[in-house]
Structure 1
Amino acid sequence: MKKTVALLAFAAALAAPLAAQAHRAWMAPTSTSLSGADAWVGFDAGMSNGVFIPDHAAMRMTGLVVTAPDGSTVQPEHLMQAQYRTTFDVHLTQNGTYKVANVMGGVMASYTLNGEQKRWRGTAAEFPAALPQGATDVQATRTASRIETFVTLNNPTDTVFKTTGEGLELVPVTHPNDLVAGEAASFKLLKDGQPAADLDVVVARGGLRYRDNPEEMTVKTGADGVFTVTWPEAGLYWLNASVRTPAQGETLGSNANYVAVMEVLP
């Protein structure tokens, strides 16, 4: 009965079809909860119309960082970029939860020089000194993109959930490797270290290729940045939130995007 109610609620909250929002980024693990003395987890990453379907482009992993339960950085292995997907493996040798994240950011600017419109892209540290002398009508936006997932060997831990205060970040209320179909889970989103209130979070279940129903819904964060999802089915889920603030005069605009991939067990 509990599962039936969750399914009905999920269907009632369906948003636009996945195909209507092209080229979604994702990083999918082969498993998120493992046991033993050590283990290996494989990852596929790409950009596509339907999540977890490698049909458009591979993802560049220039910002890939794997954080172990003790806070150390783990080197990914067997990294390979193909036409439609990027793959790599992570060797889990510590008990606890690992964070696997591809983090990118910088500044994009437009300006006028000698009557011509120009564009510049670089790091926040380079801006605005890198712009040429005489540049006018400068409009700049700071970008921050974070795509991440979590895997646990044996017992879940929370040391990898420490935030940086930059862009959109997730703080679990419910551990992301303790998700069960039919049960509610809560998470908190921060924007530059502060609660991201009244923000839409899109939740989509994988496996679209094998069904007609896109099974996508949108939930909203509260004043404290917390949002809750009741998982209708077991499977791999894609969560996405973004916030854009336009540039105003000399004030930088902001374009922050967050993606998480989570596995829900039966």
Structure 2
Amino acid sequence: MKINALKVSALALAALMPLAAHAHRLWMLPSATVLSGNDPWVTVDAAVSNDLFYADHFPLRLDGLVVTAPDGSAVKPENESTGRYRSVFDVHLTQDGTYRLAVDNRAVFASYKVNGETKRWRGDADALARTLPANAQDVEVTESEARVESFVTRGKPSVGALKPAGHGLELVPVTHPNDLVAGSNAGFRLLLDGKPAANVKVSVVPGGGRYRDQPGDTTLTTDAEGKFDVKWPNAGMYYVEAEVRDNHTSIEQAKSRRASYAATLEVLPQ
């Protein structure tokens, strides 16, 4: 499906809003997170939605989709499809261990005026200079690094696919992401460009919010080493998100950067 310019512009604006004001969340939801058997597959929904884990707004773009196998190699997702409200893809789990499913998008957002009319643009850094008109005024450029993840394990959990990439905001599990149990604590670390992300607020949101009067969100803060602990109140799917804004940009035109992270995790019953 082709995404028209109006929708891209609207999505770009939403991506630049603070997390506290987000009406929409970006997520991936695997059909299962722990599998066994001789020939397992997993189907993954990916969307931008108003209600968490319900595709009701816009499909998540899969341009930056990377599937990492337990041995660290890249796996080609199969049967990719984008519909009106969600994208879908399949992963064939041919190895034992844990797979990382990640949409890692880096982009530049620009706002400028031409003859008094405000224009907005989204694309990669290399295209920015070619795109801006010579008579552009009031140019504001923001760099964005957005990572959306989930984890799937065939058989026994492993850690080979969980190594950080060293850029943007990333989650490093202390407790394995496919070994989460209701009523127990789990530890994680946030990294920013490979270094501890200290004093960052992390939101933990249980799924099924449309069936509750209260959203049930929990806000935590990372310590000096980027660590935070979560005690899971109940079994189910959870959404973990965080955001950092700074001026550590990689292109001269950008004066600010927004680095965001989101993960879907499954918590199993005791």
Q: Is the 8 A contact 2:183 2:231 kept in 1?
A: yes
Range with bigger deviation, 150-159 or 121-130: 121-130
Name the structure 2 match of 1:61.
Answer: 62
The match for 1:211 is 212
Q: 1:237 to 1:138 in 2, by over 3 A?
A: same
Q: Tell me which residue corresponds to 1:202.
A: 203
**1:8 match:** none
Shift of 1:44: 1.3
Query: For residues 120 and 23 of structure 1, do their structure 2 counterparts lie closer, same or farther at Cα, with a shift above 3 Å needed?
Result: closer
Contact 1:111 1:138 in 2 (8 A): yes
Distance 1:132 1:211 in 2: 49
Whole-angstrom CA distance in 1 between matches of 2:21 and 2:167: 29
Question: Hey, what's the Cα distance between the residues in 1 that align with 2:186 and 2:57?
Answer: 31
RCO comparison, higher one (Cα < 8 Å, 6+)? 1
Please give the TM-score of this superposition, normalised by the length of structure 2. 0.82
* Equivalent residue, structure 2, for 1:260: 263
Q: Which residue number corresponds to residue 173 of structure 2?
A: 172
Q: What are structure 1's unaligned runs of at least 5 residues?
A: 1-17
Q: Secondary structure at the match of 1:149?
A: strand
Q: 1:110 to 1:83 in 2, by over 3 A?
A: closer
| Runs of 5+ unmatched residues, structure 2 | 1-18
Give the structure 2 partner of residue 91 of structure 1. 92
Alignment of 1:70-219 (within 5 A): 70-111=71-112, 119-126=120-127, 128=129, 131=132, 138-219=139-220
Task: Give SS of 1:185's match.
Answer: strand
Aligned residues: 249
Bigger shift: 54-63 or 133-142? 133-142
Q: Deviations over 1:214-239 (max 9, x none)?
A: 22111111111111100000000001
Q: Distance in 2 between matches of 1:132 and 1:84?
A: 33
**In structure 2, do the counterparts of structure 1 residues 243 and 250 end up closer, same or farther at CA, with 3 Å as the change threshold?**
same
TM-score, normalised with respect to structure 1: 0.84
Return the letter of the residue paired with 2:80.
Answer: L
> 229-238 or 192-201, which moves further after superposition?
192-201
Identity %: 53
- Relative distance call for 1:72 and 1:215 in structure 2 (3 A) is same
State the 1:252 CA deviation.
3.0
